[in-house]
Amino acid sequence: MAEIEIKNVAKNFGAYEALSDINLTIADQEFMVLLGASGCGKSTLLRIIAGLETASSGEVWIGGKRIDHLAPKDRGIAMVFQNYAVFPHLTVFENIGFGLRMKKLPNEVVRQRVEKVAELMHIEMLLSRYSGELSGGQRQRVAVARALAMEPDVILMDEPLSNLDALLRMEMRAELKGVLAESKTTAIYVTHDQVEAMSMADRISVMHQGKIIQADTPIQVYRNPSAKFVASFIGNPPMNFLPASRSGTKWSVAGAKFTGPETKIDILEFAVRPEDLKSADNGICATVKIVEPLGAHLLVTCTVEGHLFRVVMDSDTSLKTGQIITLAPQANRIRWFDPETALAL
Amino acid sequence: MSETSSNNGARPVGSGAKLVYVSSVVLLCAWVIVPIYFLLINTLSSPETVNSFPKSFFPEFDFGSLHFFAEFSGMITALKNSITVALLTMTMSILIGAPAGYALSRFDFVGKNLFRLLILLTRAFPLPLLALPLAVMFIQTGLDDTTFGLSLVHTTLAIPFSVLITFSLFSGIPLELEEAAWTLGCTRLSAFRKVVLPLILPGITASAIFAFVISWNEVFAAAVLTIENRTLTAFLLQNLGTSPLHLKFAGGFILVMPALIFIFAVRKYLFAMWGIANR
């Protein structure tokens, strides 16, 4: 059992608050992704869990044991670094076996375990090579194999795929997901790439300015963002926002009327994903500004009463710049945000 | 040398520019090589040839002058002293300099930049200015005329270089390698021993040899602070002043050669001091 509990963790660098009041529970064998733009504190949080950084306050528990005062080596973790950190003076075999040798395991056990994970990561033919003789992707595999060989309770990954080229990244993404699921290890994975986060995670923690804004399953984060930040961060293109004002029992959005939530506030923000819009006879009137054919579909950038508004349409649609289109959102996909607190209603 | 210049210098464009470029390279090389070559020729020539004119451009391979030194009384003791002092200097400057270099590259502390400046500033004091008070102090503490006392002074001279070279070498080793070792079961110390040290060892060796050469070449402090236990430089300075020309050449040659060989062996790492190491 390696459940991770992070309680009230905060981190200050001088006057700068890198992390504030982080509370997060990660279940045993869960794949948790920390997602956020650079500088949001996701790597700092990971390093605090690893013990490479000390929290200014708060507690970190792994498997029911408080570990924030322990050295990295005593925490039952293994880490994969962004630049792989494969030791250049050791062969691939000795790299993977490094942690096992530190544990003073007998040679035979080391050999078996190294060979097992090397096979798992498809690098068994590279065992006698040095890091300088490997490609980026191979180094990445060595780094993951080295972490897996430790058979840790928790595996921590700091943007492990960000230095690979796009095609290799996609391949490794799927492979890593499979290997980690099989290893039954709890994993925390830091990334700024939302596609990576969506495709790999059991749960995503969206971070912004040192806080966790939402921690939920990928589909929940996508469909039901808890805050405007999440809605505008997740999705490519992100959600569209329009101001809505009360009009009787309904809400008026750019001239169209929608059923909204029961609330005391008089002004709301209406939000809808670009793919949840269809052209219709009545709805929101938009002026087409840019049409971008993307093959599978058409990305149309419009303006609605001066607000930017993006729509994903079928690629057979023919549209011209300046044309006025009427768009109807799918009713069950409309979300509402409080403009004051920027939280979902 | 020409390779370094062509890599780093601006590339010449026209043939006129190329001529200037080539001739300056040749001139610079000649500046260094010609005196050493003459030293070599005159060392390996008989006394008559050394004093005659015109000079020959080829050595005669007459080992008379060198042979003289081998039998010159006090020579072997002086050589032994030189090596002892240089080895002590080498050890001390690495033991003190390398941790300082590590601290500079790995930790942020108040006054870090001032500290780096101060290290360089120690080279700004002319040794003759310090020699007299040092001599007095050494006599008071009983360190005068000992190899250890002299190596202390030489260590002071060598430390700025060992700190700066090791600082640059440590900075070239990503912190992530150490962090990876920590997560794989190492303490700070064992990570240093198992990961950093093997990677840095060639550089440390180079830095040590450089300290050795600094001590080997130093003559002023050696001449002032020792009387009986003279190092080779001080010994030759004392004895060659009144010697015939061919012996001066041979003495100079004996001094220059080890330093040249050592510096040539470690040249790659000395560039590290300026942060352009070709690792």
Q: Look at residue A343 and tell me if it is in a domain.
A: no
From A39-53, A78-92, A204-218, B34-48, the region with the lowest mean pLDDT: B34-48
Transcribe B210-260 into DSSP letters: HHHHHHHH--HHHHHH-SSS--HHHHHHHHHTTS-HHHHHHHHHHHHHHHH
From A69-83, B44-58, B118-132, B138-152, the region with the lowest mean pLDDT: B44-58
pLDDT band at B206 (very low <50, low <70, confident <90, very high): confident
User: What is the pLDDT averaged over residues B189-194?
Assistant: 91
Q: Do A99 and B176 touch (CB under 8 A)?
A: no
Distance CA A161, CA A135 (A): 13
Cis-peptide, bond into residue B198, ω within 30° of zero: no
Q: Are residues A208 and A268 in the same domain?
A: no
pLDDT band at B36 (very low <50, low <70, confident <90, very high): confident
Given a cut of 50, whether residue B5 has pLDDT beyond it is no
Long-range contacts of residues B127-136, Cβ cutoff 8 Å, at least 24 apart: B127/B157, B127/B220, B127/B221, B128/B220, B131/B220, B131/B221, B131/B224, B131/B225, B132/B224, B134/B221, B134/B224, B134/B225, B135/B224, B135/B225
Higher pLDDT, B242 or A117: A117
Q: Are residues A244 and A214 in the same domain?
A: no
Q: Are residues A314 and A209 in the same domain?
A: no
- The yes or no reply on domain B69-274 and CATH 1.10.3720.10 is yes
- Antiparallel, parallel or unpaired: β A256-258 and A267-272: unpaired
pLDDT one-digit tens code per residue, A87-99: 999 999 999 999 9
pLDDT one-digit tens code per residue, A151-162: 999 999 999 998
Q: Are residues A225 and A245 in the same domain?
A: no
In this predicted structure, what is the pLDDT of residue B270?
A: 67
Q: Do B184 and A71 touch (CB under 8 A)?
A: no
pLDDT one-digit tens code per residue, A137-191: 899 999 999 999 999 999 999 999 988 888 888 888 999 999 998 888 999 999 9
* Amino acid letter, residue A269: E
In this predicted structure, what is the pLDDT of residue B279?
A: 37
Instruction: Output the 3-class SS for A4-60.
Output: EEEEEEEEEECCEEEEEEEEEEECCCCEEEEECCCCCCHHHHHHHHHCCCCCCEEEE
DSSP state of A235: S
Task: Give Cα A259 distance to the centre of its chain.
Answer: 32
Higher pLDDT, B73 or B32: B32
φ/ψ of B240, rounded to 5, equals -90, -15
Q: Look at residue A224 and tell me if it is in a domain.
A: yes
**End residue of a domain, out of A204, A229, A254:** A229
Distance CA A9, CA A20 (A): 7
* Amino acid letter, residue A62: I
User: In this complex, which of A73, A89, A103 lies closest to B182 when CB atoms are compared?
Assistant: A73
- The verdict on B122 touching A (C-beta cutoff 8 Å) is no
- The verdict on B190 touching A (C-beta cutoff 8 Å) is yes
Q: Are residues A14 and A141 in the same domain?
A: yes
Distance in Å, alpha carbon of B261 to nearest chain A alpha carbon: 28
Q: Do A87 and B195 touch (CB under 8 A)?
A: yes
Task: Give Cα B26 distance to the centre of its chain.
Answer: 25
In this predicted structure, what is the pLDDT of residue B13?
A: 60
- The verdict on B142 touching A (C-beta cutoff 8 Å) is no
Transcribe A110-156 into DSSP letters: HHHHHHHHHHHTT-GGGTT-BGGGS-HHHHHHHHHHHHHHT--SEEE
**End residue of a domain, out of A207, A229, A251:** A229
In this predicted structure, what is the pLDDT of residue A60?
A: 94
**End residue of a domain, out of A197, A229, A261:** A229
Q: Are residues A220 and A258 in the same domain?
A: no
Q: Look at residue A179 and tell me if it is in a domain.
A: yes
Given a cut of 50, whether residue B2 has pLDDT beyond it is no
Given a cut of 70, whether residue B24 has pLDDT beyond it is yes
Contact yes or no for A270/A345 (Cβ under 8 A): no
Q: Do B176 and A83 touch (CB under 8 A)?
A: yes
Q: Do B184 and A78 touch (CB under 8 A)?
A: yes
User: In this complex, which of A72, A83, A89 lies closest to B182 when CB atoms are compared?
Assistant: A72
Task: Indicate where chain B has its CATH 1.10.3720.10 domain(s).
Answer: 69-274
**Sign of the alpha-carbon dihedral angle for A75, A81, A86, A88:** negative
- The verdict on B176 touching A (C-beta cutoff 8 Å) is yes
Cis-peptide, bond into residue A160, ω within 30° of zero: no
Distance in Å, alpha carbon of A73 to nearest chain B alpha carbon: 4
- The verdict on B175 touching A (C-beta cutoff 8 Å) is no
Q: Are residues A209 and A251 in the same domain?
A: no
**Which helix (H) or strand (E) is B163 found in, with range?**
helix B147-171
Distance CA A17, CA A41 (A): 9
Domain coverage including residue A119: 4-229
Q: Do A73 and B177 touch (CB under 8 A)?
A: no
Contact yes or no for A4/A26 (Cβ under 8 A): yes
How many residues appear in chain A? 345
pLDDT one-digit tens code per residue, A114-140: 999 999 999 999 999 998 899 988 999
Q: Do A79 and B183 touch (CB under 8 A)?
A: yes
Mean pLDDT value across chain B: 83
Please report where in the chains the tokens 């544990």 appear, as a residue. Answer: A103
In B193-252, the residues whose Cβ lies within 8 Å of chain A are 194-195, 198-199
Distance in Å, alpha carbon of B171 to nearest chain A alpha carbon: 15
Given a cut of 80, whether residue B52 has pLDDT beyond it is no
| Crossing angle between the packed helical segments A136-149 and A107-120, to the nearest 10 degrees | 130
Higher pLDDT, A210 or B126: A210
Q: Look at residue A235 and tell me if it is in a domain.
A: no
Mean pLDDT value across chain A: 91
In this predicted structure, what is the pLDDT of residue B60?
A: 74
Would you list which residues of chain A are within 8 Å, Cβ to Cβ, of chain B?
50-52, 71-73, 77-79, 81-83, 85, 87-89, 98-99, 102-103, 146, 150, 156
Nearest Cα to Cα of residue A250 among A261, A238, A242, A240: A261
φ/ψ of B142, rounded to 5, equals 80, 15
Q: Are residues A303 and A162 in the same domain?
A: no
pLDDT band at B77 (very low <50, low <70, confident <90, very high): confident
Question: The CATH number of the domain where A266 resides is what?
Answer: 2.40.50.140
Q: Is A313 helix (H, G, I), strand (E, B) or coil?
A: strand
Please report where in the chains the tokens 């004002």 appear, as a residue. Answer: A245
Given a cut of 90, whether residue A221 has pLDDT beyond it is yes
Q: Are residues A15 and A91 in the same domain?
A: yes
User: What is the pLDDT averaged over residues B6-32?
Assistant: 79
Give contacts of B195 with chain A, Cβ < 8 Å. 87, 89
DSSP state of B56: P
- Tokens for B112, please give them: 């870090």
Give contacts of B187 with chain A, Cβ < 8 Å. 71, 73
User: What is the pLDDT averaged over residues B208-230?
Assistant: 87
